[in-house]
Amino acid sequence: MHFAGSVTRRARGGPFNERGGPIRGLLDLAAGRYPSFLFRGGLDGFLPVFHFHEVTASWLEPRLRFLAENGYQTVGSDAIARLVRDGIHPGPFRIALCFDDAWASLWTVAGPLLKRYGLMAIAYVIPGRVADASSCRPTLDEDPSAADGSADRSSTPLATWPELKALHDAGTVEMQSHTDSHAMIFCDDAVSGFVDRSYTAAWLARPLVSAEPVRFQDRNELGAPLFLQRSRLSDAPRFIVDERYRERALAHVADHGGPAFFDQGDWRASLARALEPMPKGRFESPDEQRRAIVDELARSRATLEDRLGSHTVRHVCFPWGVAGDLALETARATGYLTAFSNQMPGSYAVRAGDPPYRLKRLNSKHLLRLPRPGRRDGVQNRAS
């Protein structure tokens, strides 16, 4: 295996179990990985755990009202750990609600609604991307216009440190780790494309282009080379692009028309010719990879504990549900008690004896399919 100075090792796509999509869904269904309550069965010892991202009040409130009206209570991460590690179920009609990334609507929308319905949630926070602020933004209780979740599309799309601290102090939301930077990395040495005017990668999915200082791909860096990506927490070593290679690509586009460069029919060939003599970069060494993953998990935990105070972070959700063997080993070694991922096999609900670092959750779209006493649709359904 070649590393420093080499560009001969290529990863031609991530493992199937790192992917979602219809085929994966059908395989999971055929393998019986979905809990029976989705098909009008009972809970049967499962603890359903649902994940959310950005939310609006019009979408979230009916779901929280459904839970409250049907006697469901929410639990935190330690209850999940006791179930999988010690076999202690938190009791009937218990579920967990998880908000990944801690978008601004966690503060403006979810926090007030959780309090209104007497529920709590777990937020998986990305400390390396959280901004500081002098004050908290208005919530829907103070400004009804906040109910539409528009803060998620602002220049500060994640909840800020004062907002996270207020949710933590109120006991409404328990803060756990979503790694420090939620990074995608390049994992191949073959150029797959370039940043052009059509580059639309989501903010949290833009690849890491510099680790020191941490910097992600800017969509305005026209001409920047792109490579196959996988999660930083996968087992793929990072391909570190030579900064001179990047600079040559950016300069070529800037010197040949900027945005108008991409109107040329042969712009790809033009860029390729300009870059052809340049070394593209190198793969990180095993030691560099290990240090990077340790930093992602240890720094996230330390920062959350420092910023929130009187709080112990012992649980992690891996971004995109991806965790390689090295990430799992590191989570265990750095003191995490549980981890959520989305890799095969395993059931999409938590139960006693599940591997504590390979837990799975359900999409929040399934929440209204929970069993409830006296179902309004007339179907009798037992909840255990």
Predicted confidence band of residue 314 (pLDDT cuts 50, 70, 90): very high
Mean pLDDT within 113-131: 98
Paired tokens of 190: 């073959």
Which of 115, 88, 27, 53 is closest to 345 using CA atoms?
Answer: 27
**From its phi and psi, is residue 54 left (phi > 0), alpha (psi between -120 and 50) or beta?**
beta
Condensed to tens digits (0 to 9), the pLDDT of residues 161-174 reads 999 999 999 999 99
**CA–CA distance, 20 with 14 (Å, rounded to integer):** 11
Condensed to tens digits (0 to 9), the pLDDT of residues 52-95 reads 999 999 999 999 999 999 999 999 999 999 999 999 999 999 99
**CA–CA distance, 175 with 304 (Å, rounded to integer):** 8
Which of 282, 101, 98, 283 is closest to 181 using CA atoms?
Answer: 101
- In this prediction, residue 35 carries a pLDDT of 81
341, burial (CB in 10 Å: exposed 0-12, middle 13-18, buried 19+): buried
CA angle (317, 127, 307) in 5-degree steps: 115
What is this structure's pTM? 0.90
Which of 2, 78, 7, 3 is closest to 275 using CA atoms?
Answer: 7
Condensed to tens digits (0 to 9), the pLDDT of residues 28-43 reads 665 557 788 888 788 8
CA 208 → CA 66, 114, 198, 223, 238, distances in Å?
40, 34, 19, 16, 9
Paired tokens of 171: 């006991």
Condensed to tens digits (0 to 9), the pLDDT of residues 207-253 reads 999 998 999 999 999 999 999 999 999 999 999 999 999 999 999 99
Paired tokens of 370: 């929970």
Helices (H), 204-285: 243-255, 267-275
Domains and CATH numbers, the chain: 40-180+290-369 (3.20.20.370), 189-231+243-279 (no CATH)
Quote the percentage of the chain above a pLDDT of 90: 80
